[in-house]
Structure formats: C-alpha cells, structure tokens
Amino acid sequence: MELKEWFAKTPEYFPASFSESDAPLNHNPLIGGTTHYTVRNVRQVVKFVQHSAKRCEGNELTLSFSETWGLWMILEACCNALDFEDTHRPDGGEPDEDSEEAEQAQ
C-alpha cells in the first residue's frame, strides 16, 4: 500500500499510550522527559520512523539507544492501538519464516 493510501485510510490520531521506566528518551522528538507518553499524530510517527530508517540505510549511521528504544515503543504502542498481533504475520505464519522463505527463493 502506498503511503498516501495509508494516510487516507488511517485516522490522524492513535489512541495509543505507553510508558518507559528507564532514562528519558532525550533524542526522540515525539517523546518528552516524562515516564508516560502518548502517540497521537500518525504523521509525526511516520516521519520519525522514516527519518530513523533513512539514517540507518547501508549502515552508514547507527541509531542511538534512545532512538532505537523510542522506535520500538512507538511501533508497539501503534500495534496495540490497532489490535495488531505482533507475534504473527498477517498470513498466519511465524515471523522467522520470512528468512527461510527468502533462502528458498534464492
């Protein structure tokens, strides 16, 4: 699905929240220095994820711990808000099957 289509079909705000008990995520623009955070604006989330992914292309740059942890919490919160099952693929397979299928295809 194209990003524009996804935006058109997705509500602007997620009713998602998550908490973090370790040090504040100082490098994450979406998350302040408190211990309870809310993911509200889908566009901000996508921009943050895209920016982080672009920084990692070709392993040219490594994400900081706070960025990595922030991405994990954002994605987990969004999945929870949308009732995604994060342990299974949409087709019902297990997540690690992707690597096996890729090997067989080659």
For the chain, domain boundaries: 3-105
Distance CA 74, CA 52 (A): 12
Counted residue by residue, the chain has a size of: 106
**Under a CB-based contact definition with an 8 Å cutoff, are residues 26 and 66 in contact?**
yes
pTM of the predicted structure, to 2 decimals: 0.30
Question: What's the rounded mean pLDDT across residues 98-105?
Answer: 53
Let me know: does 72 contact 79? Beta carbons within 8 Å: no
Q: Measured between alpha carbons, how far is 38 from 41 in angstroms, rounded to an integer? A: 9
Whether 94 has a pLDDT exceeding 70, the answer reads no
Q: What is the mean pLDDT of residues 65-82?
A: 68
Mean pLDDT in residue range 93-106: 53
Place of tokens 């309870």: 36
- pLDDT tens-digit readout, 33-68: 444 444 555 666 667 677 666 766 666 566 667 666
